[in-house]
Amino acid sequence: MKRRTVPWDLVLVALVAVAAWFVPEAMKALFGRASISYLSLVINALSLAVLALSWDMLARTGQLSLAHAAFYGLGAYTTALLLKHLAWPIWIGIPLGGVVAVGFAVLLGSLTLRLRAIYFAIATLAFAEVLKSLVHNLPTEFAGGNAGMNVAPLFRPQFVAGQMERWEVAFLRNEAYFYVYAGLLVATVLASIVLQRSRLRHAFIAIRTNEDVAGVMGVRPARVKLLAFAVSSLFVGMLGAVEAHRVGSVLPDQSFAVATTVLALVTPIFGGLYTTLGPIVGAIGLSSVQELLKRSLSEGYLIGYGLVLVLSILFMPRGVVGVIGRALRRRRTNAQRRAIAMAGGGAPDEGASEPGAPPEPPARPGGTA
């Protein structure tokens, strides 16, 4: 007996995807040459959204992964190595980057996902760092060593004299990348929605809230967490591969940078954990804040950026979406209370011992019920 017949979340994704189709041309019409840099900013925000949303998919099971940089780097190196050593079509590296990341995630997950909370986090951080130094030490002729490898761009738009201006070449390149990143984000969002609409959603909540209770409900925590880890690493692996093409190179310190992991976890915390919307809102919000600060403070912008993060975590522990959600929930709860009061079905005998205010969701992975 399903009450909801219209899948509003999917309808919204479809509408946004259709609207996104017109974004590059609209920006070109509005801003002309400046649309190149604006489009770059949008691409950065899309990239951050994929990174954050893919990280959040594992966080929903209460596991804090610090290995996101590793999967990102694995994707990047997969496509770079394929280009260097095999004459395969350039696009194959993107899905394969995702597949390689999944392979490593399954391996790492089967060894570490039984560990809880902080122990898992430490194990994943160690994995990422070990992998980075391993890549550093790979034979130079095979993977470029410390100097990394060049990666061919996915698109090489040509200047056609008389039909376009010079700057339009850069615009065409950014436009093409915009569609790739937007496509990757749509795929990640669809995966997230499928997980949230499936039975797994409550399994995630159960594991995150109390793994023992999840077990007695019949949920197999190890299996569910491994699935979430695999899905999460698939998208970040593909993102790493795409970014390698856009940036034009892979380097151990750049592709396996701890900063990638930090961004992956800070963004959903800012936007709102355990939701599809939160990491996206976080990505848009943080990219905008960063850009505004860069323009207004130039040199010292990172101090301002840090301050914004600290303040938002202090005052919005459940993120932007959490603040909105809490307001909506309060309205719903009040409405329910009014309905119960009108029906005369209160619980006066216990009202004092167990106040009816809904407890907040755990602010961090691993809270209790």
Partner 1 sequence: MTEPALVVRGLEAGYGKIQVLWGVDLEVAAGSFLAVIGANGAGKTTLLRALTGLIPVRRGEVHALGRPLRGLSAAQIVRGRVGHVPEGRQLFPLMTVRENLDAGADYLPAARPRAERNRALVYELFPRLREREGQIAGTLSGGERQMVAIGRALMSDPKLLLVDEPSLGLSPALASDVFTALGQIASEGVTVVLVEQNVQRSLQLADQAVVLEHGAVRQRGTGAELLADPAVRAAYLSL
The residues binding partner 1 (CB under 8 A) are 199, 202-203, 205-206, 209-210, 212-213, 215-221, 329, 332-333, 336-337, 340, 343, 345, 347, 349-351, 353-354, 356-359, 361, 369
Query: What kind and span of H or E run contains 150?
Result: strand 149-150
Taking the complex as a whole, the smallest distance from the CB of residue 323 to partner 1 amounts, in Å, to 15
In terms of CB distance, is 300 or 345 closer to partner 1?
A: 345
Report in angstroms how near the CB of residue 321 gets to partner 1 at its nearest.
Answer: 14
303 vs 299: CA distance, rounded Å:
9
User: In the bound complex, what is the minimum distance in angstroms from residue 317's beta carbon to partner 1?
Assistant: 15
In the complex, least distance from residue 294 CB atom to partner 1, rounded to whole angstroms: 38
- Contacts of residue 167, defined as CB under 8 A and 6 or more positions apart, other chains included, come to 33, 36
Task: Report how far Cα 79 is from the mean position of its chain's Cα atoms.
Answer: 20
Instruction: State the DSSP string of 296-325.
Output: HHGGGHHHHHHHHHHHHHHH-TTHHHHHHH
Of 7 and 351, CB closest to partner 1: 351
Q: Which is nearer to partner 1, 163 or 353 (CB)?
A: 353
Minimum Å distance from CB 310 to partner 1? 27
Report in angstroms how near the CB of residue 274 gets to partner 1 at its nearest.
Answer: 10
Q: Could you give the count of Cα atoms lying within 13 Å of 339 in the half-sphere of its Cβ? A: 6
C-beta closer to partner 1: residue 93 or 362: 362
Kindly state the DSSP code that residue 4 receives in the 8-state scheme: -
Query: Residue 33 or 197: which CB sits closer to partner 1?
Result: 197
- Contact by Cβ (8 Å): 48, 267: yes
Closest approach, Cβ 344 to partner 1, in A, equals 11
Q: Which residue lies nearer to partner 1 by CB, 32 or 351? A: 351
Closest separation in Å from C-beta 328 to partner 1: 12
| Nearest residue to 202 (alpha-carbon basis) of 61, 336, 321 | 61
Pick 161 or 347: Cβ nearer partner 1: 347
Contact 52, 283 (CB under 8 A): yes
Helix orientation angle between 258-271 and 117-136, rounded to the nearest 10 degrees: 140
CA distance 144 to 182: 31
Of 69, 65, 72, the closest CA to residue 122 belongs to 65
Closer CB to partner 1, residue 221 or residue 278? 221
Encoded amino acid at 202, one letter: H
CA–CA gap between residue 235 and residue 327 (Å, rounded): 32
* Maximum Cα interatomic distance, the chain, rounded to a whole number of Å: 84
